[in-house]
Amino acid sequence: MTQEDLFKKLIAHSKEYGFIFQSSEIYDGLSAVYDYGQLGAELKNNIKKYWWEAMVRLNDNIVGIDSAIFMHPRIWEASGHIGAFNDPLIDNKDSKKRYRADVLLEEHIAKIEEKIEKEVEKGRKKFAENFDEAKFKETNPNVIRHQNKIADIQNRMNSALNSNDLDALKQLILDCEIVCPVSGTRNWTDVRQFNLMFSLQMGSTAEGANTIYLRPETAQGIFVNFLNVQKTGRMKIPFGIAQTGKAFRNEIVARQFIFRMREFEQMEMQFFVRPGEELKWFEQWKTNRMKWHKLLGLGDENYRFHDHEKLAHYANAATDIEFHFPFGFKEVEGIHSRTDFDLGNHQKYSGKKLQYFDSETGESYVPYVIETSIGVDRMTLLILSAAYREEQLADGEQRIVLRIPPVLAPVKLAVLPLLKKDGLPEKAREILNALKCDFYCQYDEKDSIGKRYRRQDAIGTPFCITVDHKTMEDNTVTVRHRDSMEQQRVAISKIHEIICEQVSFKNIFEQLMM
């Protein structure tokens, strides 16, 4: 199955089992907006819980807030979003399709990177055990040629973006001979800038109305509350403020399902530090965030850092954590050293001091900030795409299983009476009632037991508890494990412990703190 087929199947599966629906579907949908169904909402909540508790509960010096989506419009002037939150767009005159100029170039670079990978594979086959990948990359003429090409494109792209030279960006697209994926032609318009913020009118009369914006990131709600939280929480630097919430961007290229949406959710944490110490904290948060991802057990090889060469105007270091999605390695989280840009500007624009008095050094200063910013929806897509499997079983049957990490699985266990008679349903409900205060459970008595297992596999339920006639005699049940499909006979009194061991965040958190 190609990665593209896998992705299509995943989208269909997400809909079929109540994870994700197109928004406003009965009106033919709204582009790049999605609704979460009964299981998607649970999965998303579990992801947010994993993030929130890892930030706020495990770190004594991080607190969480919930700021409003509507904010004073001056905030977006101070943050630079009104002036500079633009994407460079370009249209193909034949297909009438619109693209982000930088994305077209990045996709072109990714294709060259694939060529390098192919060369490396050839080398690996040729030299077998003697293969030294690093040396091969340094010396193979084809690889060197591809690498130089990438470096040249990246340099030209960064310099065009940094100097806002849209003509140079277009020239680069022409020089790379990039064609429109739909029409196949190079008939491009000029590159233009496009602001990504949604604006709306606030106020009851047209004359008195103010133009305000739907926030394009949650971070500014944290910056403008910096002093409120620092003072009321008696926070001492270094400390962090976390929040999760909706953000809105009028994305030009809204493709790839929930990867790029116009309404989405973020989980952001701003960590305030002494000026001069920011790069040390930047490294620390890079390590911590990568660990948070890898502890979910989805394969270390699926993650990598992508350090930014082109830095935003406010940053002095930045990296992305990228994950191997079915459409390639793509950003799931950004970690940025934002200097004192945001607080400094809010101080300037609001006229209010946003300084911290450091009792250890006896100085007042505007703190520097390290930001970690991850999309909840992208993280949901990451989990679903890593979890989706079509497996061939020993008995010749096939199953679709979502190997969602048990801590994040929407339904933790299903209780299944083997038959719909002989008191088995009543016994099963009794077990269910005892467990449902602690875990999200399902009860299912319809169809054969095999079919019921398949239904639970398809939604990623880690445990099925089967109640049979033996249960009535000796108070034992069968616990069936999703991934191994192994069945274990245990006393009812043991079920809680077995499930807790797998679905509680405790084990992961203990490792994250190490």
The smaller minimum CB distance to ligand ATP, of residues 323 and 356, is found at 323
Min dist. Cβ of residue 394 to ligand ATP (A): 39
The smaller minimum CB distance to ligand ATP, of residues 46 and 373, is found at 373
Q: Which two tokens stand for residue 314?
A: 């406010």
Alpha helix (H) residue ranges in 140-189: 141-162, 166-175
DSSP reduced 3-state for 102: helix
The smaller minimum CB distance to ligand ATP, of residues 266 and 442, is found at 266
The smaller minimum CB distance to ligand ATP, of residues 91 and 377, is found at 377
User: Using CB atoms, what's the residue nearest to ligand ATP?
Assistant: 375
- φ, ψ for residue 458, nearest 5 deg: -70, -20
Question: Are the C-beta atoms of residues 498 and 464 closer than 8 Å to each other?
Answer: no
Min dist. Cβ of residue 220 to ligand ATP (A): 12
Min dist. Cβ of residue 39 to ligand ATP (A): 20
Any residues with CB less than 8 A from the CB of 36 and at least 6 apart, and which?
Answer: 19, 20, 21, 43, 44, 380
The smaller minimum CB distance to ligand ATP, of residues 188 and 314, is found at 314
Min dist. Cβ of residue 356 to ligand ATP (A): 25
The smaller minimum CB distance to ligand ATP, of residues 261 and 503, is found at 261
The smaller minimum CB distance to ligand ATP, of residues 258 and 492, is found at 258
SS3 of 186-222: CCECCCEEEECCCEEEECCCCCCCEEEEECCCCHHHH
Radius of gyration of the CA atoms of the chain, in A: 26
Min dist. Cβ of residue 174 to ligand ATP (A): 23
Min dist. Cβ of residue 264 to ligand ATP (A): 4
Q: Is 172 exposed, middle or buried (0-12, 13-18, 19+ CB in 10 A)?
A: buried
Min dist. Cβ of residue 358 to ligand ATP (A): 29
The smaller minimum CB distance to ligand ATP, of residues 332 and 402, is found at 332
- φ, ψ for residue 333, nearest 5 deg: -145, 145
* Dihedral angle computed from the Cα positions of residues 198, 268, 308 and 345, in that order, rounded to the nearest 10 degrees: 70
Min dist. Cβ of residue 265 to ligand ATP (A): 8
* Cα–Cα distance, 514 to 501 (Å, whole number): 19
Min dist. Cβ of residue 326 to ligand ATP (A): 16
- φ, ψ for residue 345, nearest 5 deg: -70, -40
- φ, ψ for residue 244, nearest 5 deg: -120, 150
Question: Are the C-beta atoms of residues 235 and 222 closer than 8 Å to each other?
Answer: no
The smaller minimum CB distance to ligand ATP, of residues 91 and 265, is found at 265
Q: Which residues bind ligand ATP (CB under 6 A)?
A: 217, 249, 251, 260-261, 264, 266, 331-334, 373-375, 377-378
Min dist. Cβ of residue 376 to ligand ATP (A): 8
Count other C-beta atoms under 10 Å from residue 490's C-beta.
Answer: 14
**Residue with the two structure tokens 């006896």:** 362
CA angle at 237 for the pair 226 and 360, rounded to the nearest 5°: 130
* Cα–Cα distance, 464 to 275 (Å, whole number): 53
Count other C-beta atoms under 10 Å from residue 481's C-beta.
Answer: 15
Any residues with CB less than 8 A from the CB of 117 and at least 6 apart, and which?
Answer: none
Min dist. Cβ of residue 89 to ligand ATP (A): 13
The smaller minimum CB distance to ligand ATP, of residues 106 and 113, is found at 106
The smaller minimum CB distance to ligand ATP, of residues 245 and 425, is found at 245
The smaller minimum CB distance to ligand ATP, of residues 314 and 368, is found at 314
Min dist. Cβ of residue 62 to ligand ATP (A): 18
> How far, CA to CA in Å, does 373 sit from each of 56, 95, 257, 333, 337?
15, 35, 20, 6, 11
